[in-house]
Amino acid sequence: MTIEETLAKLGVTLPDAPAPEANYVPFVQVGDLVHVSGQISMDENGLITGRLGDDMETEAGAAAAKRSAIALLAQVKAACGGDLERLVRVVKLTGFVNSTADFTDQPKVINGASDFLVEVLGDKGRHARSAVSAASLPLGVAVEIEGIFQVR
């Protein structure tokens, strides 16, 4: 089954790759690695905002992280000229969680992205990862995730 077929089976449609909101590019390819800029949590209704440990629960944060992972895949698809089958593997994710100083479940939040990528990609979705707290994130979003992907 192709990646696109797996996404369809899961009821996920990749959006168009989000355009940058500032002076940067959405991805840079160096050799067979694509470095994707941070993708903020948003869905078809707009930004997913909130602060974990304050007005957002861990499960909602994980759902926001999944949306960031969907945007990451959209950027990889754009980097691959529309052909997700060029994706070899997810190398590394760095997840930033908008959270209070006493919130300690950042890894559970970023699991929303990690679990989704493994569900869609199988073993090539397994990756190295960091999950860190941030005092705030752009536009008040709950999650931002950047990634490194190997492509052919």
Average pLDDT of the segment spanning 56-85 = 98
Residue 132 has pLDDT above 90, yes or no: yes
What is the pLDDT of the chain when averaged over all its residues? 97
Q: What is the pLDDT of residue 83?
A: 97
- The domain total for the chain is 1
**From the CA atom positions of the chain, what is the Rg in Å?**
14
Establish if 19 belongs to a structural domain: no
Do 90 and 147 form a contact (C-beta atoms < 8 A)?
A: yes
Q: pLDDT band at 87, cuts 50/70/90? A: very high
Establish if 101 belongs to a structural domain: yes
In the chain, which residue ranges form alpha helices assigned H by DSSP? 3-9, 58-79, 106-121
Q: What is the pLDDT of residue 21?
A: 83
Establish if 122 belongs to a structural domain: yes
Residue 90 has pLDDT above 90, yes or no: yes
Establish if 97 belongs to a structural domain: yes
Domain of 118?
39-151
Q: What is the pLDDT of residue 74?
A: 98
In angstroms, the CA 107 to CA 8 distance is: 27
In angstroms, the CA 74 to CA 64 distance is: 16
Q: pLDDT band at 98, cuts 50/70/90? A: very high
Strand partners, 47: 42
Q: pLDDT band at 18, cuts 50/70/90? A: confident
Establish if 131 belongs to a structural domain: yes
Do 12 and 84 form a contact (C-beta atoms < 8 A)?
A: no
Establish if 137 belongs to a structural domain: yes
Residue 95 has pLDDT above 90, yes or no: yes
CATH number for the domain that contains residue 69: 3.30.1330.40
Q: pLDDT band at 31, cuts 50/70/90? A: very high
Q: pLDDT band at 149, cuts 50/70/90? A: very high
Establish if 119 belongs to a structural domain: yes
Establish if 2 belongs to a structural domain: no
